[in-house]
Chain A
Amino acid sequence: MTQPSTASKAVLQTLPGDEIRQILWRYQDRFDYQMLVQSSRSVARGPVARLVAQGARNSHEWTEAKHSLLKVYDESGITGAFLDPAYGGLFEGPKNLIMSLVAFELAWVDGGAATASLAGNLGLAPIHECGTPEQVARYMKMASPAKPGENRKTMRAAFALTEPLPYVGVETGLLCGKARVAEWKDGQEPLLEIDKRGRFITNMDYATVVTAAVDTDDKRIKSSCMVILEEGDPGLFDRGTATKKLVHQLSSTRDPNFQLKVPASRIVGGYTVKEGVIVPNYTHSEVIEAVFKRTRVTVGLMTAAKLLSAVEPIIRYQRQRFRGGTAATPGTPRYDLGIQTKEDALHRLVDVWAMGEAGASLGFATTRLYDELDPLEREKNRILDERGVQGARARMKEMAKVERQAMEYLIMTRMPQGRRNPSMFEALKNDPLVQFSVFEPVANVLCPATKLWNTGQGANSLREAVSLMGGYGITEDCPGFLGHKWMDAQLEATYEGPEAVQRRQLSITMAQPLFLEQFKHWIMDLKTLAADHPETGACGLGTAMQMWLWTLSHLQESVDATGHKLFSSNRQGVTFPMADALCWLLASRQQILDVLELEQKGASNPSLAETLPGTLAFLTDLCQVQAARAAGEVSRICAELVFGYNRHPRWDSEGCQSCFNEADLEGLETYVPGIGSVAYGYSDVLDMDDNHPLKRGPCANISGMEPFLSLRAKLDGCLTGCRLAKDRAAESLTRVMIPEALDYPQ
């Protein structure tokens, strides 16, 4: 049993409610968002949860009951949330945060329901991000749910990238789907022949419009592109067979086959004709890049929602574990606390909760960043258009110039005000291109980090959550549907770019100088923050970040025992673990920043007056627990990489160069008294017959690694107190008031 250690401190009284979450995730001033959150919640915990409870997930087929959810999404505002008000949507401006909040609410109950609602947006996203004004107007309007009195069906969209093996799904750069010119009469628009087979295509039971990625199979088409296919286009629009997936059964997934003729105006983003060749304005890769960098974050948040949703059912299960039996009578600890009398059960739940908080913090921070970045990106594109900078390469070249200014700006932000040129600083601060260059490298890291870490590590933590429910955890009637959620998390780790894809992207973006410069600033900020908030674990986290940075720099300059460069794009054994390590740091950092926000803003909300101190204390303890765990992961990974590529010395002449021999030591004792006793501490000593100690070989030489060892020793010390924080958090779990029953299915 955890010993009470915070008798005089504020304790967590209730599970964090909406008021707390609104501050942590920065939408306390957005009543419109709060409304859609409530609306999505009632859908999730009502119709969606009822379907799950009724066993609707036990079929691969798209049933009438599952289909009924689409109408519910339409009526509750979920479908329209993606659209601009001009097309029947609800919100002006960027919608990354609100879409994530909706998905979070749905995934709290069922990931498939969230996927079904998001898949329509994914189908539309190529048009939204890259479509021509005509395409945007046509399809967004059709996707808007019909208003009262309107006699039309809501258009549903699907996104068709993934193909049957051997190609897409593993490698997005290669496509089997093809586009050819079927007919091109003089002065008329070309007619394209599209041949595309899809695999794992969500929404395919009912989608009437598909945005499909195809490669060129005709000299008269310059490159790959995405095309818009409509049911009713001449040819074959075969929805194919249902995918026999084990997860996300509340979303429709099929393997379709399209052989259609469509006008070239269906190329997403349009095209130009140059010397008799159709040149799509966007290749399929460019469209996908624009789409996925936003939608992937939402997927990461879905897994975080599942983790946080697991907390309440687990607490209830733990407390009620022995009730009803003869061994636990009311008023006894066994009756009141059940398994919560055991420290391990509490500590493991603390870990699950901390992971959920960190994942949610990371994901929501990323979506907010995209909400800031989106208008900047549009402005950047407008300015570059104005300057006549066209084409991906020319734009990249132009932006490279701006990156230098962005670095200058970043350095200036750290200068004392008196030392920097104020007019230049203001100019850079107000330059959208510079600001875009500052934000984008961070977004390019945070997006894959959210997708990779939230889903991958989230799936691992969900397994832990399931295990905390005992055998109940793997039954269909487990409260909170935890078994389903665990399985679903595995799909979330895979779709929209599996873990390897995210690691690959991270391994490139995390080494960008503009990101690393900001990373250094974050370390300084955490150290400063730790002075006022020592219990957050910020200090240790800062040290872990220093270690990661040192290791990256070391790896970039070092070679392995065979002379091969360590940090290179093909050396995934090096780059990928570094990407993994970085994710732990980013999530933990954002978790701390969110709690800081709560501390600053919470006091102004009178409804939190009573609960805030206890909630803050608890969430701060979770921060420290998570920071310690992140530090441990980083320390392990970095140590393996720093030392793991050196060859261990052997008991041969080369390996034993610095070994002593007992006979030599005896002789040396005359000249250096005491050497015999200290030599054992510094090196390996062979006996009189040249026999070596019984171990692998002489101990490895660590000269040159002192900075790393010093950081590692420091980091170990930084863990001081982290287990006390875990004890405090565990104790809170035994006291926190939870509702009498789970609020779903309703």
Chain B
Amino acid sequence: MAFFHIVVCGGLVPDPLQTLEPVSGPAGWSLKNESLLPSILDPWAANALYEADALAKANPGSKVWLASAAPKVKLQQVLMALAQKAPFELLPVDAPAGGFTDAVECALALAGAVQSIEGLDRSRLLLFGGWESASRGAGATLSVLGEKLGLTEQFQGVDKLTVDGDGSLEILERVEGGKHQVSVLSSPPAVLGWATGGRAEPPNNPQIGMANMRALMPSLQKARAAKLPGDGLTLKSVSLPRQKRNTQVVKDMPVEQIAVEIVEWIKKKP
């Protein structure tokens, strides 16, 4: 069985349970109390990490790296749980995180981190990440990063990856219209932007975590800083998806009439 060198790219996003309120200041857009909000690894990137872990386990000799551009202190807290999920090496870039950074600048910073990996076999490289994110969801960082690294085989919205007996990769990818496309790639390298994948979040395992942390903490201390100033990027307006609530309390309505109302409501939907 062939091995893979899998680099998972993932940023941090605020815990989705928190109140997210975009505010504009002298330094541009940010979230209210952004630095105080607890963070998690972007859920799409997390799916990619769990897929990478499963792939590495199924293919002995494989190795997983996690490349993350995020504030170092936030990353450290996230690692306390994340490092227990799967074995990986960390490629930290001490940079701002969130929905207001420029995807190109972020991709460049990550490209530097990936290129710095000693012993990386680019012919076996699989660049994993989320096909979008829980921050702004530009969906561009991974594609740009792939281009910068010269990886032209790119798949977005991946739901499943199967390694065939001859070492080729069969990729189930989401396409327009709610359909899937199956592609076969003879061999790496490639970029895979994961959708949900098919893996449940692994339970925490402190023993994996402690083994991971021996290497993760020194890596974190040596994280290279990247400013990501956002030159040339202007966000004209920022808003959260609006919540709409049209609850009616109606008593004693006959079932038939309820059905009629539902049908009318469905018809109104665009």
Binding site for B on A (CB under 8 A): 13-14, 17-19, 31-32, 34-39, 42-43, 72, 75-77, 90, 324, 605-607, 609-611, 737-743
Partner of A35, one of B18, B71, B84, B203: B84
Contact of A32 with B203 in the complex, beta carbons under 8 Å:
no
* B210 at interface by CB-CB < 8 Å: yes
Rounded to whole angstroms, the CA-CA distance of A455 and B205 in the bound complex is 31
Interface size of B by Cβ–Cβ distance < 8 Å? 28
Contacts of B210 in A (CB 8 A): 31-32, 35, 90
Partner of B205, one of A77, A610, A741: A77
Which A-chain residue is minimally distant from B214 (CB atoms)?
Answer: A31
Contacts of B32 in A (CB 8 A): 737
Rounded to whole angstroms, the CA-CA distance of A682 and B61 in the bound complex is 95
Can you add 6 more A-B contacts, CB < 8 Å, to A17-B38, A39-B205, A77-B204?
Answer: A31-B213, A35-B204, A35-B209, A76-B204, A605-B73, A740-B17
CB distance from A10 to the nearest CB of B (A): 13
Please list 6 pairs of residues, one from A and one from B, whose beta carbons are closer than 8 Å in the complex, sorted by A's number: A14-B36, A18-B77, A35-B80, A35-B210, A90-B210, A741-B17
CB distance from B98 to the nearest CB of A (A): 15
Which B-chain residue is minimally distant from A147 (CB atoms)?
Answer: B207
* B206 at interface by CB-CB < 8 Å: yes
* B170 at interface by CB-CB < 8 Å: no
Partner of B15, one of A34, A606, A739: A739
CB distance from B235 to the nearest CB of A (A): 23
Rounded to whole angstroms, the CA-CA distance of A75 and B74 in the bound complex is 26
Partner of A610, one of B35, B80, B84, B247: B35
Contacts of A34 in B (CB 8 A): 80
Rounded to whole angstroms, the CA-CA distance of A32 and B211 in the bound complex is 10
Partner of A743, one of B17, B74, B206: B17
Rounded to whole angstroms, the CA-CA distance of A39 and B204 in the bound complex is 5
Rounded to whole angstroms, the CA-CA distance of A76 and B74 in the bound complex is 23
Partner of A76, one of B17, B35, B38, B206: B206
Contacts of A738 in B (CB 8 A): 19
Contacts of B84 in A (CB 8 A): 35, 38-39
* B83 at interface by CB-CB < 8 Å: yes
Contacts of B80 in A (CB 8 A): 18, 31, 34-35, 37-38
Contacts of B207 in A (CB 8 A): 77, 90
Which A-chain residue is minimally distant from B78 (CB atoms)?
Answer: A38
Contacts of A37 in B (CB 8 A): 80
* B81 at interface by CB-CB < 8 Å: yes
**Most chain A C-beta atoms within 10 Å of own C-beta, residue among B17, B33, B38, B80:** B80
Contact of B213 with A35 in the complex, beta carbons under 8 Å:
yes
From residue 46 to 91 of chain B, which have CB atoms closer than 8 A to chain A? 71, 73-74, 77, 80-81, 83-84
Contacts of B206 in A (CB 8 A): 32, 35-36, 39, 76-77, 90
Top 8 closest A-B pairs, CB basis? Answer: A77-B206, A39-B204, A607-B73, A38-B81, A739-B17, A35-B209, A34-B80, A14-B36
Contact of A13 with B33 in the complex, beta carbons under 8 Å:
yes
**Most chain B C-beta atoms within 10 Å of own C-beta, residue among A31, A606, A738, A743:** A31
Rounded to whole angstroms, the CA-CA distance of A420 and B33 in the bound complex is 53
Contacts of B33 in A (CB 8 A): 13-14, 610, 737
Which A-chain residue is minimally distant from B204 (CB atoms)?
Answer: A39
Contacts of B35 in A (CB 8 A): 607, 609-611
Q: A35-B213, A38-B84 in contact; A72/B73 too (CB < 8 A)?
A: no
Rounded to whole angstroms, the CA-CA distance of A743 and B247 in the bound complex is 25
Which A-chain residue is minimally distant from B203 (CB atoms)?
Answer: A75
* B217 at interface by CB-CB < 8 Å: yes
Q: A19-B77, A35-B83 in contact; A740/B38 too (CB < 8 A)?
A: no
Contact of A42 with B204 in the complex, beta carbons under 8 Å:
yes
Contacts of B15 in A (CB 8 A): 739, 743
Rounded to whole angstroms, the CA-CA distance of A609 and B37 in the bound complex is 13
Contacts of A32 in B (CB 8 A): 206, 210, 213
Contact of A31 with B19 in the complex, beta carbons under 8 Å:
no
CB distance from A35 to the nearest CB of B (A): 4
Contacts of A14 in B (CB 8 A): 33, 36-37
Contact of B77 with A607 in the complex, beta carbons under 8 Å:
yes
Rounded to whole angstroms, the CA-CA distance of A740 and B16 in the bound complex is 9
Contact of A38 with B204 in the complex, beta carbons under 8 Å:
yes
Contact of A76 with B36 in the complex, beta carbons under 8 Å:
no
CB distance from B120 to the nearest CB of A (A): 27
Which B-chain residue is minimally distant from A41 (CB atoms)?
Answer: B81
Q: A19-B77, A35-B80, A741-B17 in contact; A75/B213 too (CB < 8 A)?
A: no
Which B-chain residue is minimally distant from A743 (CB atoms)?
Answer: B17
Contact with A along B16-48 (1 / 0, CB 8 A): 011100000000000011011110000000000
Rounded to whole angstroms, the CA-CA distance of A76 and B202 in the bound complex is 10
From residue 190 to 234 of chain B, which have CB atoms closer than 8 A to chain A? 203-207, 209-210, 213, 217
CB distance from B42 to the nearest CB of A (A): 18
Rounded to whole angstroms, the CA-CA distance of A609 and B74 in the bound complex is 13
Partner of B81, one of A19, A42, A324, A607: A42
Contacts of A609 in B (CB 8 A): 35
Rounded to whole angstroms, the CA-CA distance of A240 and B35 in the bound complex is 55
Contacts of A18 in B (CB 8 A): 38, 77, 80
Rounded to whole angstroms, the CA-CA distance of A90 and B74 in the bound complex is 25
Partner of B36, one of A36, A90, A610, A740: A610
Q: A13-B33, A39-B204, A90-B210 in contact; A740/B18 too (CB < 8 A)?
A: yes
Rounded to whole angstroms, the CA-CA distance of A275 and B205 in the bound complex is 53
Contacts of A31 in B (CB 8 A): 80, 210, 213, 217
Q: A31-B80, A39-B81, A741-B17 in contact; A76/B73 too (CB < 8 A)?
A: no
Contact with A along B165-206 (1 / 0, CB 8 A): 000000000000000000000000000000000000001111
CB distance from A113 to the nearest CB of B (A): 15
Rounded to whole angstroms, the CA-CA distance of A310 and B35 in the bound complex is 25
Contacts of A90 in B (CB 8 A): 206-207, 210
CB distance from A638 to the nearest CB of B (A): 43
CB distance from B230 to the nearest CB of A (A): 21
Contact with A along B136-176 (1 / 0, CB 8 A): 00000000000000000000000000000000000000000
Which A-chain residue is minimally distant from B212 (CB atoms)?
Answer: A35
Contacts of A742 in B (CB 8 A): 17
Which B-chain residue is minimally distant from A77 (CB atoms)?
Answer: B206
Rounded to whole angstroms, the CA-CA distance of A17 and B205 in the bound complex is 22
Q: A19-B77, A38-B81, A607-B35 in contact; A76/B18 too (CB < 8 A)?
A: no
Contacts of A741 in B (CB 8 A): 17
Contact of A737 with B204 in the complex, beta carbons under 8 Å:
no
Which A-chain residue is minimally distant from B209 (CB atoms)?
Answer: A35
Rounded to whole angstroms, the CA-CA distance of A148 and B205 in the bound complex is 13
**Most chain B C-beta atoms within 10 Å of own C-beta, residue among A324, A607, A742:** A607
Contact of B36 with A13 in the complex, beta carbons under 8 Å:
yes
Contacts of B74 in A (CB 8 A): 607
Rounded to whole angstroms, the CA-CA distance of A742 and B247 in the bound complex is 22
